[in-house]
Amino acid sequence: MWQFFHKLGSPKWFFGISTRFMPWLLAGGLLLLMAGVVWGLAFAPKDYLQGNSYRIIFIHVPTAFMAQSIYIMMASAALVTLVWRMKLADVFVKAVAPVGLVLTFLALFTGAVWGKPTWGTWWIWDARLTSMLILLFLYGGVIALDRAINDEKSAARAVAVLVLVGVVNIPIIKYSVDWWNTLHQPATFKLTEKPSMPAEMWVPLLLSVLGLYLIFGWLACVRMQTEILSREQRTRWVKEFVLKGRG
Amino acid sequence: MHPIRKKRLTIVLFLLAGLSVAVALTTYALRQNINLFYDPSQISAGEAPVDVRIRAGGMVEEGSVVRDPESLKVEFLVTDYSASVPVEYVGILPDLFAEGQGIVAMGRLNAEGRFVADQVLAKHDENYMPPEVAGALEKASNAEAKSAAESTKPATY
């Protein structure tokens, strides 16, 4: 296991192995996401109370879920950066932060679009919405801090500290609806209980979450490869790779 | 693990634990400000301030909605099944507003304990189901109520 861990630290090894996985991630992700979204938007039954407007969950839930999931992955990578000083961990944080930012924004936006007709307002300062907005600012802060420091190593450490401090927000987002009175409803899916939703609604939702996960994996690989190439541009293997072209 | 890495890991985990405790204490201290609304039990226990703009939330009590035929005025009771508070509101209600549904109202509590709302928002719950299932459930609960009523009848003979 440790050998694998140390290999992961080598940008060159990661570059090679990720190139092999990427087409599968993209194909599987697109397939699952298309199936989930088309099934959810066109074929799943409508809700007894909200009618068709509930269908936005097939976009809202995957983006909100991924936005938090990516942050947890970033925090794990930040821990690795601080403790093991692994270069690839920092490359990961830098590569996925903008993806997380976009997904958080999409979750907030789709929530607002749904909130206007359902609740009667597109924004309210309840604990769930506010903590999600803080997540958006955290992603923005991580990107800005990384850009603000020129030295690669100090940027990596400063960003890692910020990411780790921000991880406290994740349980707050998750449990805000249970700890406080909020306008946002509590979770439909719980680990220990049956979802309060029939299978013909949650199966397409699950498919789109999985699909988005795979597409995120592909996107992370693409962005990490670009970052690796630009960081290692002076090494021999990158020069050879560029001269040789992709073939 | 290398001793230096072990030391770094301990420091990072220690700081993270300290930070979590600090945030937990802060949010605990501010819980009344973080709560979006007062529930009817808190209001009837006198925990909510009078004549200050606050939010009240709960379920619209079944059979309590009274609409004024002349205007947009609506009166209803908001309940959390242990206490209820009378609410009055003039304006257009959201589509999801119905008896038995959750709402959050913004307004002022007056001296008589009535809540005068200037905004009513519908609160959606975590349950989703197709209309046919909802219809079947309602039928089943009606049938159950009927059979329960019938089964109690012989006892009164």
**Is A112 domain-assigned?**
yes
CB A44 within 8 A of CB A200: yes
Tell me the pTM: 0.86
CA angle, residues A21, A23, A27, in degrees to nearest 5: 120
- Measure the CA–CA gap between A221 and A29, rounded to whole angstroms: 13
* A69 — pLDDT class (breaks 50, 70, 90): very high
Residue A85 has pLDDT above 70, yes or no: yes
**Helix axis angle, A87-118 relative to A57-84, nearest 10°?**
150
**Is A182 domain-assigned?**
yes
Residue with tokens 């300290």: B18
Residue A33 has pLDDT above 90, yes or no: yes
Residue B145 has pLDDT above 80, yes or no: no
What count of other Cβ atoms lies within 10 Å of the Cβ of residue B8?
A: 16
- Measure the CA–CA gap between A222 and A226, rounded to whole angstroms: 6
**Is A215 domain-assigned?**
no
The nearest alpha carbon in chain B to A187 belongs to B126
| Chain B residues with CB-CB distance to A82 below 8 A | 8, 12
- Of the CA atoms within 13 Å of residue A199, those in its CB half-sphere come to 0
CA angle, residues A211, A10, A20, in degrees to nearest 5: 40
Kindly determine whether residue A124 and residue B121, on different chains, have CB atoms separated by under 8 Å: yes
ipTM value greater than 0.85: no
Give B148 or B27, the one with higher predicted confidence: B27
- Measure the CA–CA gap between B116 and B105, rounded to whole angstroms: 9
- C-alpha to C-alpha distances, A27 to A31, A66, A155, nearest whole angstrom: 6, 19, 34
Work out the mean pLDDT of chain B and round it to a whole number: 84
Establish whether B2 is an annotated binding residue: no
| Chain A residues with CB-CB distance to B123 below 8 A | 119, 183, 185
**Is A107 domain-assigned?**
yes
- Measure the CA–CA gap between A106 and B18, rounded to whole angstroms: 32
Share above pLDDT 70 across residues of chain A, in percent, rounded to a whole number: 96
Number of domains in chain A: 1
B55 is written with which tokens?
Answer: 């939010």
- Taking only the tens place, the pLDDT of each residue in A151-166 is 989 999 999 999 999 9
Question: Backbone dihedral region of B51: left (phi > 0), alpha (psi from -120 to 50 degrees) or beta?
Answer: left
Kindly determine whether residue B5 and residue A49, on different chains, have CB atoms separated by under 8 Å: no
Q: What is the model's pLDDT at position A225?
A: 93
Tell me whether B27 touches chain A (CB under 8 Å).
yes
Q: What is the model's pLDDT at position A163?
A: 96
* B153 — pLDDT class (breaks 50, 70, 90): very low
The nearest alpha carbon in chain B to A47 belongs to B130
Structural domain that includes position A103: 57-189
**Is A17 domain-assigned?**
no
**Is A36 domain-assigned?**
no
Work out the mean pLDDT of chain A and round it to a whole number: 90
Kindly determine whether residue A198 and residue B16, on different chains, have CB atoms separated by under 8 Å: no
* A–B interface: beta-carbon pairs under 8 A: 109
**Is A8 domain-assigned?**
no
| Chain B residues with CB-CB distance to A60 below 8 A | none
Q: What is the model's pLDDT at position B157?
A: 42
Q: What is the model's pLDDT at position A167?
A: 94
Per DSSP, the three-state class of B120 is strand
**Is A120 domain-assigned?**
yes
| Chain B residues with CB-CB distance to A119 below 8 A | 94, 96, 121-124
